[in-house]
Structure 1
Amino acid sequence: MAVPTNIKTLLAGNAVEWARIEFKETWDAEASLKTICAFANDIDNWGGGYLVIGVEEKDGRPVHPLKGIPADKIDDYLKDMLNKCKRIQPEYLPIVEVVDYQDKKFIVVWAPGGYLRPYSSPKSMAREEKERICYIRKMSSPIMPSEEEKRDLYNLANNVPFDDRINHEADIVDLNLTLIQAYLKEVESSLYEESKHMEFVDLCRSMNIVNTLPEYTKPKNVGLMFFSLEPDRFFPYAQIDVVQFPEDLGGNQIIEKTFKGPLHQQLREALQYIRNSVIQEQVIKFPDRAEAERFFNYPYAAIEESLCNAIYHKGYDVREPIEVRILPDRIEIVSHPGADRSISEEGLRTYQVFNRRYRNRCIGDFLKEMHLTEGRNTGFRKILNALERNGSPAPIFETDPERLSFCTTIFIHPQFLSPNGTKDGTKSGTKKATPNRRTERVQLVLSTIQEDPRVTVRVLAEDLGISKNTILRILKELQENGTIKREGSSRKGRWVVL
C-alpha cells in the first residue's frame, strides 16, 4: 500500500513542513514508535506526519548521499514494525510503503492524525514496561505532554475536525476514480500507477479519504470535497461566488459568477476568471530612461493567496459561500466563520498572526501537495509582500466580535484611480481614494445613528450599502476615540453620539 505523496517531495521538504517529517537511518523500534504515536495524536492538527527510514539526518534535514536500507533487512523491519505498532492503544496502524529511489530502498511510514485520539505507547520496549505515554509532537521531536497539554489532547479527542469526519449520508461510489488519479498524477505519487490495478476501496484507504472499518465503508468529508463531482450535494454552498459591483454597492449593475465542483478545481477556475476579467496591467514609459514602470491594479499573487486561505480556513458545516466582491476601488474576500479566537483583532491590524491549529488539517494537506498553499503562517506575509512589490496600499484583515466571518480587503493600486477617487484606468491619477471614502463612510454612519440611535448593524449595512465587517470596524473605532458610546445590550440598547 502506497502513501499519497512521493519520497522526492518529502526529501525536499517543499510541500510538507520539516516538523512533520522525521528521518531514521535504521528502524529504531522505541524511538520510532514514539514518533508514530505523536503523529497520530496530532495535537496541533497538522495532519500527522511522515517517518522515512533509510535516511541519515542532521538538524532535521536529510544527509546526502542517501544511505538506504539493505534489501535483506526490509522484511525484518516491516515485521517488527507491525508487531510494535500493535502496542499503540487504541488500535492504530500507519500506512507503510517500501520505495525505490536513486537505486536504493527506503521505507516511508505515513501516520495521519487519528480520530480515536489520544493514543498512547509504552515508555520503553521492555517486556515488563507498564507505563504508557500519550506522546505529542512539538517542534521536530516527540515529547511527553505537560498536564495542560494532556487536557488539551483529551479535549481535541472530542473535537474531530469537520473535514476528517465520516460522512454517513454518502457512499464510496460518490468518490470519483478519475479525479483521484488526476490528483495522484499531479503530485507524482507512486500510488498513481498502483491505482490502475488495485481495488478502489483499497485506493481510498491509502488516500485516507474513507474510514477503515471493513464492515462499514464510508467516505470522509475531505474525500467528498476533493474527489466528488458534486460536493455541494453534501456541503450546500461549498462554492465561490465572484460578484462584481461596477457602480459600487449602491449601484444597479451586478455581475455574478459562481464556481462549484471539487475544491481545487473551483479555486483554480475562480482565480483564472479573476485573472482574465479583473486584473489589468498598466505600463508607464519615461522619456529619460529605457525602463518602463509596470504595475497591476491588483497583484495576482495577493489575490491567489487570499482566496487559497479562504478555501483552507472556511467552515464547511456553515451554509455560506466564499464571496469575492469586486468593487471599483477594492476587492473583498469574505468567508465563514471568522478567525480562531486565539488570533486577536490587534494581531490582525498589525499583521502579527501566529496560529498552528488549523481548522481543516486534511484540506490543507491536499492543497499543500498541489502547491496551492503552504500552511505555515506565511499567508499574510505573502499577501503583504505581493502588494508592496506592486506599490499597492496595505490590506485590511478583519473579523467580527462573534467570529462569524472573516474579510480580507485588498485595495486597488492608486494610479488606477482618478484624483476624485473613482476607477478610470488613467495613468496619471496618484491620489489614494481610501481616506476620502473612509471619511465619507464614517460621516454616513454617524448621521444614521443620530437619526435612529437604535439602528442595528445589519440595518446600517443594508441601508448604507456597506459590508457588515466595515460597519463593525467603523463603530469600534468611533467608540475607541470617544465619538460614540453604546448604552444597553446589543439588541435593545442604543447609540449615543458624544
Structure 2
Amino acid sequence: MSLPINIDELLNGRTVEWERIEFRKGWNPERSIKTICAFANDFNNWGGGYLILGVSEDNGKPDLPPSGLQLRQIDRIQQELNNLCRKIIPNYFPIVEPVDYQNRKILVIWCPGGSNRPYKAPETLGNNARFFYFIRRFSSTVRPNNDEEHELLSMANQVPFDDQLNHNAGLSDFDLSSIKVFLNEIGSGLEKEISNLPVDEVARRMNIAEGANENLLPKNVGLLFFAKNPQKHFPSAKIEVVVFKDETGTEYSEKIFSGGLHQQLRNALDHLQNKFSEQIIRKSASIPESERIVKYPYAALEEALCNAVYHRGYNNDSTIEVRIYPNRIDIISFPGPLPPLDKEKLRNNQFDIRKYRNRRIGEFLKDLHLTEGRATGIPTIIDAMKKNG
C-alpha cells in the first residue's frame, strides 16, 4: 500500500529536510536499528524521519537513479525488521513500504516520532548487548551526551499536542473526501487506493490515528486538517482578520476563516492578497524607470501567517489574529516562541533553535508547499520586505 507522501518529492528533498532522511544502498541491521530508534525519539520534535534502502548516498543526498533491491531482499528485510524492532525498548514499529522508483525497487521505512519515548536500542546485535538511547544530531545518528540524555529523559511520554490522541472524537469525525483531495494534491499513490479502504486503514497509513483495533482513536493533527468540522473539536482553531480604521481600535471590520488548517490558511491568504494587491508607483529623479511596489509583499504575508499556523499552541483558547492598522500589520499567535527562543533572540535575528512545538502540522503544510525549510521564516519575511522597498 502506498505511503501518504509524494515519493519523488521525498527523494529530492522538497518536502522533507535532508537531515530527516537517511539513504542506504544495502541493508545493515545493526546500523538501521539505531537510526530507527533515533527517529522514534524525535529529540527535536521534527516528526521522525525516513530510512530509504536501495539508494546510495552522496554527501547526504540520493545518488539517482537508485541501485535498487531485489524482491527477495525486500522480503527478507521486512521479516528481519519485524524481529529487529522488538529489540527496541519499548517496542517501536515503523511503517514500511516497497516502492517502484525509476524502474527500480526501493524500500521506504517511515519512522514517525514515537508515542512512548525515550527509546533504547542495542549497541550490537550480539549476545549480552548493552542498550543505549540514540538521537539525531543534524544528519547523523548519535548517542546523546549527558545534557541531551537528561533532556530526553525529561521528555518521557511527552507527546506534542498535535500528535496526541483525542479521546473525545472518533474515526467517524474524519471527512474522507478531504483526505482524498489532500492526497491527490500532493501526488500520493495512496489517493488511488483510498476508495477501496476502510477509514481505519486510511487513518493508520496516514498516522492520524492510533490504538488497538477495538479502540482506534484519531490524533489531534488529523482532526485539525481532516475533520468534518474541525472547530467542533478545537473552537479556537481559526484565523481572524481584523481591519482597524485607526489606532484607537473602536471602529473595525472583521472576517473569520475556519475549516481545516490548510483550507483556512489558504482562504485567509487569498483575502490578504486581494486586499494588498494594489501597486504603488514610486518615481525617482535619479532613476528613469518608475518603481512599482505593494504596501505589503505577499511573500512576507504568506510566510508570517504560515508560521503562525505552524507554531501556535492548539491546546489554548486563543485564535490567530491578523490585526491590520493604517500603518502596520500585527499577527498574533499564542503562546509565542518556544524556549529557548525569546524576544531578544528574535530581535537579534538568531533563529538557530531546533525545537518545535508541533511535529506533525509542519509535515502536512510542507507537503502542500505552504511552508519551507526550518529556521527560514523570519529571514524570508525580512528579505521580501527589503526587496519591496
Q: TM-score, normalised by structure 2?
A: 0.96
Identity %: 47
**Counterpart residue number, 1:42:** 42
Tell me how far 1:282 sits from its aligned partner: 1.4
**Counterpart residue number, 2:227:** 228
Tell me how far 1:237 sits from its aligned partner: 1.1
The residue matched to 1:324 in structure 2 has which SS?
A: strand
1:316 to 314, 317, 323: 314
**Counterpart residue number, 1:374:** 372
CA deviation profile, 1:235-272 (whole Å, cap 9, x unmatched):
121100000012x1315431100001100000000000
Task: Report if aligned partners of 1:174, 1:228 keep a CA contact under 8 Å in 2.
Answer: yes
Q: Which moved more, 1:285-294 or 1:186-195?
A: 285-294
The residue matched to 2:360 in structure 1 has which SS?
A: helix
CA deviation profile, 1:392-411 (whole Å, cap 9, x unmatched):
xxxxxxxxxxxxxxxxxxxx
Cα distance in 2 between the residues matched to 1:35 and 1:283: 55
Cα distance in 2 between the residues matched to 1:90 and 1:288: 69
**Counterpart residue number, 1:104:** 104
The residue matched to 1:237 in structure 2 has which SS?
A: coil
- After superposition, residues 232-243 of structure 1 pair within 5 angstroms as 232-243=231-242
**Counterpart residue number, 1:342:** 340
**Counterpart residue number, 2:262:** 264
2:388 to 387, 390, 396: 390
CA deviation profile, 1:384-431 (whole Å, cap 9, x unmatched):
10000001xxxxxxxxxxxxxxxxxxxxxxxxxxxxxxxxxxxxxxxx
Cα distance in 2 between the residues matched to 1:299 and 1:210: 39
For the aligned residue pairs, the C-alpha RMSD in angstroms reads 1.6
Cα distance in 2 between the residues matched to 1:364 and 1:92: 23
**Counterpart residue number, 1:95:** 95
**Counterpart residue number, 1:278:** 276
**Counterpart residue number, 1:482:** none
Letter of the aligned partner of 1:179 in structure 2? S
Task: Report if aligned partners of 1:364, 1:375 keep a CA contact under 8 Å in 2.
Answer: no
Cα distance in 2 between the residues matched to 1:192 and 1:231: 22
CA deviation profile, 1:56-103 (whole Å, cap 9, x unmatched):
102111113321112332211211122212211212110011111111
Q: Which moved more, 1:62-71 or 1:27-36?
A: 62-71
- After superposition, residues 176-195 of structure 1 pair within 5 angstroms as 176-195=175-194
Task: Report if aligned partners of 1:55, 1:62 keep a CA contact under 8 Å in 2.
Answer: yes
Task: Report if aligned partners of 2:18, 2:60 keep a CA contact under 8 Å in 1.
Answer: yes
Cα distance in 1 between the residues matched to 2:320 and 2:192: 35
- After superposition, residues 351-430 of structure 1 pair within 5 angstroms as 351-391=349-389
Cα distance in 1 between the residues matched to 2:152 and 2:212: 24
Tell me which protein shows more strand as a share of its residues. Answer: 2
Aligned length in residues: 389
Cα distance in 1 between the residues matched to 2:286 and 2:143: 66
Task: Report if aligned partners of 2:65, 2:102 keep a CA contact under 8 Å in 1.
Answer: no
Letter of the aligned partner of 1:35 in structure 2? T
The residue matched to 1:291 in structure 2 has which SS?
A: strand
Tell me how far 1:208 sits from its aligned partner: 0.6
Task: Report if aligned partners of 2:116, 2:157 keep a CA contact under 8 Å in 1.
Answer: no
Cα distance in 2 between the residues matched to 1:74 and 1:341: 43
- After superposition, residues 326-341 of structure 1 pair within 5 angstroms as 326-341=324-339
**Counterpart residue number, 2:85:** 85
Task: Report if aligned partners of 2:231, 2:259 keep a CA contact under 8 Å in 1.
Answer: yes
Tell me how far 1:289 sits from its aligned partner: 6.8
| Structure with the larger RCO, 1 or 2 (CA within 8 Å, 6+ apart) | 2
Cα distance in 2 between the residues matched to 1:111 and 1:7: 15
The residue matched to 2:217 in structure 1 has which SS?
A: coil
What residue ranges of structure 1 are gaps of 5+ in the alignment?
392-498
Matched, 1:295 2:280: no
Task: Report if aligned partners of 1:2, 1:95 keep a CA contact under 8 Å in 2.
Answer: no
What residue ranges of structure 2 are gaps of 5+ in the alignment?
none
Cα distance in 2 between the residues matched to 1:7 and 1:30: 26
**Counterpart residue number, 1:145:** 144
Letter of the aligned partner of 1:188 in structure 2? G
Cα distance in 2 between the residues matched to 1:42 and 1:287: 57
**Counterpart residue number, 2:13:** 13
Task: Report if aligned partners of 2:133, 2:144 keep a CA contact under 8 Å in 1.
Answer: yes
